[in-house]
Amino acid sequence: MKKYLITGVTGSLGKAVLDGLLPKVSKDEIAVLVRNEEKASEFKNSGIDVRIGDYNNESTLIDAFQGIEKLYFVSSSDLSNRTEQHLNVVHAATKANVKQVVYTSFQRRNETASSPIAAVAQSHLDTEKALIESGLNYTILKHGLYMDLLPWFIGAQFMENKSIYLPAGEGRAAFILRDDLAALAVNVLTSIGHENKIYNAYAESAPTMCEIAVEVSGIVKQEIAYVSPFVDEFMTTLSQAGVPAEVAGMLAGFSSAIAAGEFSEVSADISSLLGRKPTSVSTFLEQVYQA
Ligand SMILES: NC(=O)c1ccc[n+]([C@@H]2O[C@H](COP(=O)([O-])OP(=O)(O)OC[C@H]3O[C@@H](n4cnc5c(N)ncnc54)[C@H](OP(=O)(O)O)[C@@H]3O)[C@@H](O)[C@H]2O)c1
């Protein structure tokens, strides 16, 4: 019997959770799920039990989940097939008799098709419902927007343009650092009493992009304005600047969701569970832009 199976370990979040877990529990208690055998060597070489399985293929998951007590289930990065993939994971966990599934869900306010990020949110809603109805013990972590994405929102050209240009209006977002989400996961996996709980995995404060522009101005010692265009104008400007439509569309969608207040709720859940405050936006911006 293995105590833990960590998925997504070839990606940023899963790797951070594995790295956080290794000093706390015996390596013999940990297995990882990898879909591509070529990417498994790093883990095999360090003596970790590697299970090969793909969210697209339920039978590979049933095999991979054998003897697993707690499954850390990182949501898929494949948005177009995500609901089907995630249902495969839930069904496989049920059939393999996994004792607890810790799922990385998503902060949101509007749960209808009118949400600016319905395409992202729907698969999380479907997965949460499937988990809750499955009879499995679940822990749902409603992840806020990654703070790590702030440089992407702010853009590489902000110093030249002297502005942050995003259709995020005056919306607030409780950005949270991926490493804090990993620390939360390690805490939940290694302590008791988290069965059938839903935690708000986002920050205790939620700045606007305007406030972020003021913070950045102070760090780079130059005035950086915040300009919030209409979405059509934003798309045209980015297209003229040669930004791929898919990237501009993602920026517009998430910015519109910020404007609509999708990520504005704040929570003390992370502080209560970790016994410390998560990294603030100010600290993160200083780390990124101080140089
Ligand atoms: N809250 C936010 O702001 C935010 C932002 C970005 C993403 N996310 C979500 O959070 C997740 C984790 O973030 P991240 O930064 O760690 O993403 P990431 O670096 O792209 O990692 C995604 C992981 O999922 C694995 N994966 C994808 N499809 C799979 C499949 N069919 N079967 C098995 N494993 C599969 C990938 O494996 P491979 O290496 O084989 O591709 C990779 O290990 C993302 O997948 C996404 O759902 C949230």
- Based on the domain organization, do 137 and 25 belong to the same domain? yes
Numbers of helices and strands, H then E, in the chain: 13, 9
- Residue 281 CA to residue 150 CA, distance in Å, equals 9
| Chain mean position to CA 267 | 16
Asked if residue 19 is part of any domain, the answer here is: yes
Whether 78 lines ligand 1, by a CB cut-off of 6 Å, is: yes
Asked if residue 160 is part of any domain, the answer here is: yes
- Based on the domain organization, do 126 and 229 belong to the same domain? no
| Nearest residue (CA) to ligand 1, atom 28 | 76
- Based on the domain organization, do 99 and 154 belong to the same domain? no
- Based on the domain organization, do 120 and 261 belong to the same domain? no
Whether 12 lines ligand 1, by a CB cut-off of 6 Å, is: yes
- Residue 31 CA to residue 106 CA, distance in Å, equals 25
Tell me the pLDDT of the chain (291 aa) as tens digits. 789 999 999 999 999 999 999 999 999 999 999 999 999 999 999 999 999 999 999 999 999 999 999 999 999 999 999 999 999 999 999 999 999 999 999 999 999 999 989 989 999 999 999 999 999 999 999 999 999 999 999 999 999 999 999 999 999 999 999 999 999 999 999 999 999 999 999 999 999 999 999 999 999 999 999 999 999 999 999 999 999 999 999 999 999 999 999 999 999 999 999 999 999 999 999 999 997
Ligand 1 center to residue 32 CA distance, Å?
A: 14
Whether 174 lines ligand 1, by a CB cut-off of 6 Å, is: no
Asked if 278 and 123 count as a contact pair (C-beta separation under 8 A), the reply is: no
Asked if residue 190 is part of any domain, the answer here is: no
What range does the domain containing 61 cover?
Answer: 2-143
| Nearest residue (CA) to ligand 1, atom 11 | 75
- Based on the domain organization, do 51 and 121 belong to the same domain? yes
Whether 13 lines ligand 1, by a CB cut-off of 6 Å, is: yes
- Based on the domain organization, do 61 and 33 belong to the same domain? yes
- Based on the domain organization, do 288 and 159 belong to the same domain? yes
The CATH number given to whatever domain includes residue 17 is 3.40.50.720
Position in ligand 1 atom list of the atom nearest CA 76: 45
- Based on the domain organization, do 131 and 214 belong to the same domain? no
The CATH number given to whatever domain includes residue 151 is 3.90.25.10
